[in-house]
Amino acid sequence: MSTEAAVLARLRELATHPAARGLADDVALLGDLVLTHDTIVEGVHYLPTDPPESVGWKLGAVNLSDLAAKGATPAGALLSLTLRGNDDWDECFLAGLAEVCERFGLPLLGGDTVALPAGAPRVLGLTVLGRAGARVPGRSGGQAGDFLWLVGPVGDSAAGLAQLLADSAASGPLVDAYRRPDPLLAAGALLAPHASAMMDVSDGLLLDARRLAAASGCGLRIDLSVLPLSQAYREARGDDRAARLFAATGGDDYALLAALPADLDALTILKGCSAKVVRVGELTEGDAFVLVDNLGLVPLPERLGYEHNAS
């Protein structure tokens, strides 16, 4: 068992309160409040060369994406900010955080600022609270026969990160997707009343879809050929099977994945939303994971996405 898996197992033993939802759902639900916390580490979750404004934006956005996946409305945030004596960096980081907070109506309510020892990587945490709507879909409510709908492009962020790793001065729409993801709050709020299960796609579509199916006690079928690849993605990486597998396993997308009963059409529910929406597959009886594209069956790649592992 990986180190993180062992720690998570221990945490699950401790988190017995019903509001914790067994730690299986990215968020906690306390009364009508949806609670989430994401921590990002310099050199692990963002590049030391990333502009601090974009780090601030991304910290807000990844937490807001958790609210989006539960159909919740932003209510407030607490920031954990580690300082290393660099005013300019901190100022720009806060400007980026302020920008995403303002854009999505998330008030900053408090937190903590602490000093770091010299040379230590920054660790930045944000707790976000949201007001739940009438329904808060979990990962586990999916039923065999539900269609799986994907909202938002996948692959852009991983392609942008690949560009940055090859050239730290890279720029363009893919780099922007990596640095400044957009949380899909409007789409999430529209889908939540209807979705049998929903989550955001942060670790790779294939990995997250398997998690949703497993939590729902189902198998799944995903069709790579319908992936909503952006024009920029196609230009950078093409759209053959390898490109589609890269997009489906890259992570950092902050797309939404929703299981809807077969008689519902996400395109109708999301009419007027600008996000890309595709029916990417379905939940099935059993526990098999069937991956196809327009050429037929696709062997499952060894790596389905970004598996967190501290070891």
Among 55, 96, 100, 127, binds its own copies (CB under 8 A): 127
Q: Tell me if 286 contacts its own copies by CB under 8 A.
A: no
Query: Are 37 and 125 a contacting pair, CB within 8 Å?
Result: yes
The verdict on whether residue 88 carries a ligand-binding annotation is no
Q: Tell me if 45 contacts its own copies by CB under 8 A.
A: yes
Q: Tell me if 310 contacts its own copies by CB under 8 A.
A: yes
Applying the rule CB under 8 A, the residues between 87 and 106 that interact with its own copies are 87, 90-91, 94, 97-98, 101
How distant is the alpha carbon of residue 108 from its chain centre? 21
Q: What is the DSSP letter of 2?
A: -
Give the integer Cα–Cα distance in Å for 37 and 270: 27
CB closer to its own copies, 1 vs 297: 1
- Residue 159 CB, nearest approach to its own copies (Å): 23
Applying the rule CB under 8 A, the residues between 16 and 35 that interact with its own copies are 16-17, 19-21, 23, 27-28, 30, 33, 35
Q: Tell me if 82 contacts its own copies by CB under 8 A.
A: yes
Q: Could you tell me where the beta strands, DSSP code E, fall in 145-204? A: 147-151, 197-201
Decide: residue 242, CB within 10 A, 0-12 exposed, 13-18 middle, 19+ buried. exposed
Q: Tell me if 146 contacts its own copies by CB under 8 A.
A: no
78 bridge partner residues: 110, 127
3-state secondary structure of 216: coil
How distant is the alpha carbon of residue 91 from its chain centre? 26
Q: Tell me if 240 contacts its own copies by CB under 8 A.
A: no
289 bridge partner residues: 220
Among 234, 271, 303, 308, binds its own copies (CB under 8 A): 308
How distant is the alpha carbon of residue 248 from its chain centre? 13
CB closer to its own copies, 42 vs 265: 42
Give the integer Cα–Cα distance in Å for 224 and 246: 11
Q: Tell me if 302 contacts its own copies by CB under 8 A.
A: no
- Specify the pairing of strand 33-41 against strand 123-131: antiparallel
Annotated binding site for ATP: 111-112, 139, 202
Residues that bind its own copies (CB under 8 A): 3-4, 6-8, 10-11, 14-17, 19-21, 23, 27-28, 30, 33, 35-41, 43-45, 75-76, 78-87, 90-91, 94, 97-98, 101, 107-117, 120-121, 123, 125, 127, 129, 308-311
